[in-house]
Chain A
């Protein structure tokens, strides 16, 4: 569950990225966060992963109140949120299996748990035969699937995808969205940050639109409002 209460973020240079943002995303929801470049989407992601602190307001992520969270608790909060990026952020000299397993090693999982869980997750994202490959041997869509597998491997309560299809062609983009939808169907909350209007409009989901740091629309009609309005 994500809760933003009257959140404002002003950067040191004086740039006002968010202003009085209120958001509530329940467990198990699938939400698109849309808006043009510079609208404040990335700031929202950085705030909910505790990379940034809000200037004012309060944020709650999966039971962690970020205004009172202690620094040493931040890694444990992050384990409840699997983040996926446009540029995949895989470790180039590790195989697909090891990239995914890395996510489990970081949280102290045993070798036996890793051997059981990683093949299951690779199978879930359709990469059951790619475990021994290196990232550069895969297509963009496959690399993004590896990133999704890594985000999923610790069974987080929520997946946050920041422009996950930004580097992919329309067909691969659609496949990735379908994959995220199937993950959501298993009970994981999914939040997809994007500015790809056509892709959003192919799915009937809740859409939160943000512009100039303010929420300008929050609807269940699965419609990406026009940026100019």
Chain B
């Protein structure tokens, strides 16, 4: 390791660069996923109750709504509350002062477990006695589901591509270091060294490169992420997009960097040396 310091240093640098790219991409995807999921939660179904039902009858419809499998919660809003909220949302315009509660219906704000099953759930809601109408915005729900699916597929594909690229780069970097030692390996074979004996120091080197690279990449990622999170938070006064704090992903990131560093370092070393063992 020490006699081939430059090549080992190069291998560490390449591994760190790849791990930081993979880590950054994973964190971006994770944050986008959380954002889409938050947006999904805001996509609710409004279930209007028959206007002939009184307040107590209207509330009883809620217990039947809650029985449906895909319903996470159903929050009751009386027609009086609805008028109040409507007027508030429209500002203090005189045009809305004449609206009476009797002009609106009691309603339930229903949050679903799985938005991809919205159409089926809406059909079930329509079957409930006392339900007069439903406002469901299925296009929006489908849109969020599609975004989520695309994000999942894209993230998996990009992470796989980056992993393959980093393995290729690391394997080549280590191969270059091995090439430097090919005579030494040939001498070892000639004097009766077993493949296990020859592999061992390179395996240890790969292990060390992996551990060091994983640790360095982790701390760089941590620093970059915190810096970026502060900048983004400072930039958007409305807080539309909340960055997940690093402490929430600390353990998964430690594991990811540790496993990925070890995997590429050790696998890269073993793959690279195979060709030199064939003497």
Binding site for B on A (CB under 8 A): 49, 51, 72, 75-76, 78-79, 82-83, 89, 91, 93, 102-103, 106-108, 150-151, 154
Question: Shortest distance in angstroms between A66's beta carbon and chain B's nearest beta carbon?
Answer: 15
Partner pick for B191 among A51, A72, A103, A108, CB 8 A cutoff:
A103
Partner pick for A75 among B3, B183, B187, B194, CB 8 A cutoff:
B194
Q: Given A51-B279, A106-B197, verify A91-B184 contact (CB < 8 Å).
A: yes
Q: Is the CB of B190 within 8 A of A75?
A: no
Q: Is the CB of A91 within 8 A of B187?
A: yes
A103 to B188, CA, bound (A): 8
A107 to B184, CA, bound (A): 15
Q: Given A51-B279, A93-B3, A106-B197, verify A78-B184 contact (CB < 8 Å).
A: no
Q: Which residues of A contact B252 (CB under 8 A)?
A: none
| Category for how many chain B residues contact A | 10 to 19
Interface check B98, CB cutoff 8 A: no
Interface check B176, CB cutoff 8 A: no
Q: Given A51-B279, A106-B197, verify A89-B192 contact (CB < 8 Å).
A: no
Q: A75-B192, A102-B187, A106-B193 are in contact. List 7 more A-B contacts (CB 8 A).
A: A51-B279, A75-B193, A76-B192, A78-B189, A89-B190, A91-B184, A151-B191
1/0 contact trace for B1-30 toward A, CB 8 Å?
A: 001000000000000000000000000000
Q: Is the CB of B192 within 8 A of A106?
A: yes
Closest chain B residue, CB of each to CB of A89 = B187
Closest chain A residue, CB of each to CB of B193 = A106
Q: Which residues of A contact B3 (CB under 8 A)?
A: 93
Q: Is the CB of A49 within 8 A of B190?
A: yes
1/0 contact trace for B99-112 toward A, CB 8 Å?
A: 00000000000000
Closest chain A residue, CB of each to CB of B187 = A89
Can you report 30 residue pairs joining A to B where beta carbons are below 8 Å apart?
A49-B190, A51-B279, A72-B195, A75-B189, A75-B192, A75-B195, A78-B189, A78-B192, A79-B191, A79-B192, A83-B191, A89-B183, A89-B190, A91-B184, A91-B187, A93-B3, A102-B187, A103-B191, A106-B188, A106-B191, A106-B192, A106-B193, A106-B197, A107-B191, A107-B192, A107-B193, A108-B197, A150-B191, A151-B191, A154-B192
Q: Is the CB of A102 within 8 A of B191?
A: yes
A154 to B190, CA, bound (A): 13
Question: Shortest distance in angstroms between A214's beta carbon and chain B's nearest beta carbon?
Answer: 27
Q: Which residues of A contact B191 (CB under 8 A)?
A: 78-79, 82-83, 102-103, 106-107, 150-151, 154
Q: Is the CB of A72 within 8 A of B194?
A: yes
Q: Which residues of A contact B189 (CB under 8 A)?
A: 75, 78
Q: Which residues of B contact A93 (CB under 8 A)?
A: 3
1/0 contact trace for B151-193 toward A, CB 8 Å?
A: 0000000000000000000000000000000011011111111
Question: Shortest distance in angstroms between A85's beta carbon and chain B's nearest beta carbon?
Answer: 8
Closest chain A residue, CB of each to CB of B198 = A106
Q: Which residues of B contact A78 (CB under 8 A)?
A: 189-192
